[in-house]
Amino acid sequence: MINKIGLFGKSWILGVAILVLQGCGSTKTLVSADKASVIAKIDLINVVDDKVNVVLDPAAFVTDTVSFFIPKTVPGTYSDDNYGKYVEQFKALDYKGGELKVEKLDDNTWRIINAKDLDKIDYWVNDTYDTEVEVSEPVFSPSGTNILKGKNFMLNLHGFVGYFDELEEIPYSLEISAPDGLEPVTSLVKGVQDVNRPETDIFVANRYFEVIDNPIMYSNPSTETFQVNDIAVTLSVYSPNGHYTAASLKAGMEKMMRGQKAFLGDINSTKHYTIILYLSNMDDNDAKGFGALEHHTSTVVVMPEQISKERLEEAIFDTVAHEFFHIVTPLTVHSNEIQYFDFNDPKMSMHLWMYEGTTEYFANLFQIQQGLISDEDFYERLMEKVERSKTYDDSMSFTLMSKNILEEPYKANYANVYEKGALINMALDINLRELSGGEKGVLWLMKELSKKYGNTKPFEDGKLIDEIVAMTYPQIEEFFKTHVAGETPIDYAVYWNKVGLQTTEQEQSTGYFFDGEVPYIDVDPSNDNAIFVREGIQLNSFFKGLGAKGGDIIKSVDGKMTNLVNIRLLIGQSMNWDPDKEIVLVVQRGDDEVTLTGKVGEPTLDVVKLVPMEGASEQQIKLREAWLRG
C-alpha cells in the first residue's frame, strides 16, 4: 500500500499526484426483499454529529450467544483497515426494547449474550474521510466512507453494515432513508419500493458479499448512461464545486470503454457497470487518497476536483481501464479464497500476478491494440514499469508475496503487483505468442479459463498454474516455476529480443524539481505537510549530485525553512538559476538531519528507451506484430 499521500501532480505545479490502487468484488442476482433474513436500515436524514444511525434486524437465533462483525479487511485493499473502529454506541436490543449484554472482543467484533432474545442491533457510524489527516495509516479513500449531511454520502457498505457469525451467505435487504434531492447510484439490485415510505430506497442482495461489493453514492444527480455493446454503463460524478459533470466526461469514457469491449471480444460477465467518481475539494475533512477500488460490476474512483480536465481524463481513463478489466479476473476467474472471502480472518490467494497483474497489463495492451496510443507510448509505459519494479524486491516469489500480502516484508512490496505483475504477463504473453506461432496470448488464456470457471465456480488456488500448463505448453511450467513462484528475476532483454526490440540510454534535460509534469518532490499531509523527495522514481542529476535520497524530508533550502508557500516560490525561482549557483539543503533522513551542498548544475536524467532493433529478422517483426496487434 502507499504510505505517503501525494499532493504534487502532473497537471499543475504543486497540484495533486494521482495515486492508484485497485480492487475486486462479487456478483449479483435478484432476490425478493421479503425473503431477506437480515434487514439493514441506514438513516441518512437524521445525521447527528456527522454520524448516521444503522439498525440491523436479523432472523431469530437459536444459540445463547452470537458474534457480530464489521469487516477488518475487504477484497482489493490488501490491508487491515478495521472498519469497526468507526462504529459507536453499539446496542443489542431484545423484543421488549431492553438492552442485552454485549462484549466487545476487538475493534470489529461484538459478542451478544442471550442471543435467543435478540430483536435487533443499533449503532452509529462515523465516516473515514474526516480522519485521513489524523491517522498514520488512513483508510484508502476509494474504500472509505463519507457523511456530508444533505450533500453527499459515500456508502462503501462494509463501513456501515456488518454480518453475524456463519450467516454471511444469507440474503440481505437494505432500507436507506435519504434526504430529498439526493439520488442513489449503484449496481445493487433495487427491491420493491414501499409507497408508504417514499424517502426510503430498498436494495436487495443474495449474500453479504454482494452487500459490500456494491457501493452506493447519494448526491445531487449528475449521471449519464451509455451502451457498450450489451453492457449498460452508468457514470455518476460528484463535484462539490460543480467543476465537472458526468456529461462533460461521458464522451471520452465511452470511447475508452468501447475499445476495452472490442479488445475483450466475447467475454460477457456482466450486463451493467457503474462508475462512481467522487471529486475531493482537498480540505482537511475530505478524501486525499486518490485512485480507485474495484468491485465486480462497479468501481469507486476518487480524484481531486482542482485537476485540469485533460489530466483528470487521463487519470480516470487509465484507472477505470484497469478496474473494468476486473470483470475478467477476479469476477470470472478466481479462487476459493476470493469466492468465500473471510472479512475478519482473510486467507489470501497466491495469484495477484493474475488478479492485478493481468488486469494492469490489459489496461495498457488494449490501448495499443485499439489504436488509442502509439507503439512508442506503449514501450515507454513498459520501461516505466521496469524502472518502478526495481524499487521493490525483484527476487521475492510473487506467489509467496501474494499469499502473505497482509504481512511484512510482503506487504511493503504490494504495489509491485501493478509493475512487475504487469511485466510477468507481458513475458507470458510473448512466450505464448512465440510457442503458438502468434495465435495465442494471455487474452486467449483468460478466455479459456473463463470458459472453464465463471462467476460462481472458483478454482483451487494451488492447482491453477498446473491447469495453465496443461492447457498451453510444457515450457510455460518452467516460466512460472522460475519467475512467478520462484525467486529468479526476469531478464527483460530476452523478451525484447524475441520481438525485435532493444534498449538505448538517452540523456534528457529536466527542470530542477520537475521532469516536465512529473514532480521529484511531494507533500505528506499526515506529517504537517512536510515536503519530501519522492521515492520509487529515478531522480535527476540535481538531486543525485547533492546526495539526496527518496524519502528525505526537506527542512530548509539556503537557510529558509521549507513549507507549502515558499516551496512554490522556490520552484518559480529555480527556472532562472545559474548552473554555478551553490545551494544548501538540510534534510531529515530517518532520525538524522543531513546537510547537502553543491552546485545546482544543469539538471538531466538518464532515460532508458525501448526502440525497434536495427536489422530485426522477419520472424522477430512478425512476433512483435502478433503481440502488439493481437
Name the band, by pLDDT with cuts 50, 70 and 90, for residue 5: very low
521 CB-side CA count, 13 A: 26
What is the per-residue burial (b if ≥16 Cβ within 10 Å, else e) of 512-522? Answer: bbbbeeebbbb
Q: Which three cell numbers stand for residue 9?
A: 501532480
∠ CA(425), CA(427), CA(433), 5° rounding? 100
Amino acid present at 284: D
pLDDT recorded at residue 516:
80
Question: Which phi and psi (to 5°) does residue 530 adopt?
Answer: -65, 140
Pairing of strands 109-113, 223-228: unpaired
Please name the residue that has the C-alpha cell 512487475.
420
Residue 124 · residue 48 · CB < 8 Å: yes
Whether pLDDT at 16 is above 70: no
* Distance from C-alpha of 299 to C-alpha of 307, rounded to nearest angstrom: 20
∠ CA(228), CA(231), CA(232), 5° rounding? 90
Question: Which phi and psi (to 5°) does residue 2 adopt?
Answer: -90, 130
Report CA dihedral (103, 109, 114, 116) to the nearest 10 degrees: 170
* Distance from C-alpha of 531 to C-alpha of 521, rounded to nearest angstrom: 7
Amino acid present at 590: G
- Residue 615: Cβ within 10 Å count: 7
What mean pLDDT do residues 255-278 have? 89
* 92 membership: H or E segment, kind and range: strand 87-94
Residue 234 · residue 60 · CB < 8 Å: no
What mean pLDDT do residues 524-547 have? 88
618-629 and 420-435 helices cross at what angle (nearest 10)? 120
Q: What is the DSSP string of 297-334?
A: TEEEEEEETTS-HHHHHHHHHHHHHHHHGGGTTTTTS-
Query: Is pLDDT larger for residue 294 or for residue 471?
Result: 471
Whether pLDDT at 518 is above 90: no
Whether pLDDT at 97 is above 50: yes
What mean pLDDT do residues 114-125 have? 97
pLDDT recorded at residue 524:
83
- Residue 181: Cβ within 10 Å count: 11
Please name the residue that has the C-alpha cell 497489463.
361
The candidate with the shortest Cα–Cα distance to 130, out of 106, 159, 109, 104, is: 159
Whether pLDDT at 32 is above 60: no
- Residue 103 makes CB contacts below 8 A (sequence gap 6+) with 110, 111, 113
Q: Which three cell numbers stand for residue 121?
A: 442491533
- Residue 304 makes CB contacts below 8 A (sequence gap 6+) with 9, 15, 16, 279, 280, 282, 290
* Distance from C-alpha of 187 to C-alpha of 192, rounded to nearest angstrom: 16
The candidate with the shortest Cα–Cα distance to 319, out of 14, 15, 23, 7, is: 23
pLDDT recorded at residue 12:
28
* Distance from C-alpha of 319 to C-alpha of 275, rounded to nearest angstrom: 11
What mean pLDDT do residues 541-551 have? 95
Start-to-end C-alpha separation, the chain = 33
| SS3 assignment, position 155 | strand
- Residue 193 makes CB contacts below 8 A (sequence gap 6+) with 201, 202
Query: Is pLDDT larger for residue 110 or for residue 37?
Result: 110
* Distance from C-alpha of 197 to C-alpha of 465, rounded to nearest angstrom: 53
Query: Is pLDDT larger for residue 519 or for residue 46?
Result: 46
* 48 membership: H or E segment, kind and range: strand 38-48
* Distance from C-alpha of 75 to C-alpha of 16, rounded to nearest angstrom: 27
- Residue 483 makes CB contacts below 8 A (sequence gap 6+) with 398, 424, 427, 489, 490
* Distance from C-alpha of 304 to C-alpha of 343, rounded to nearest angstrom: 30
Q: Which three cell numbers stand for residue 359?
A: 488486469
Residue 235 · residue 196 · CB < 8 Å: no
Question: Which phi and psi (to 5°) does residue 529 adopt?
Answer: 55, 40
User: Looking at 10-24, 134-148, 291-305, 615-629, which range is the least confident one?
Assistant: 10-24
Name the band, by pLDDT with cuts 50, 70 and 90, for residue 87: very high
Whether pLDDT at 93 is above 60: yes
β-strand partners of 175: 41, 202
Whether pLDDT at 554 is above 90: yes
pLDDT digits (tens, 9 = 90+) for 179-193: 999 999 999 999 888
Please name the residue that has the C-alpha cell 490502487.
21
Name the band, by pLDDT with cuts 50, 70 and 90, for residue 36: low
| SS3 assignment, position 152 | strand
Omega of the bond prior to 71 within 30 degrees of 0, cis? no
Residue 32 · residue 206 · CB < 8 Å: no
Name the band, by pLDDT with cuts 50, 70 and 90, for residue 337: very high
- Residue 146: Cβ within 10 Å count: 27
Whether the pTM exceeds 0.85: the reply is no
Q: Which three cell numbers stand for residue 286?
A: 475530505
Pairing of strands 501-509, 291-295: unpaired
Residue 133 · residue 282 · CB < 8 Å: no
* Mean of pLDDT over the chain: 90
* Distance from C-alpha of 491 to C-alpha of 470, rounded to nearest angstrom: 25
Residue 177 · residue 43 · CB < 8 Å: yes
Whether pLDDT at 460 is above 50: yes
Residue 495 · residue 427 · CB < 8 Å: yes
Q: What is the DSSP string of 217-263?
A: EEES--EEEEEETTEEEEEEEE-TTS---HHHHHHHHHHHHHHHHHH
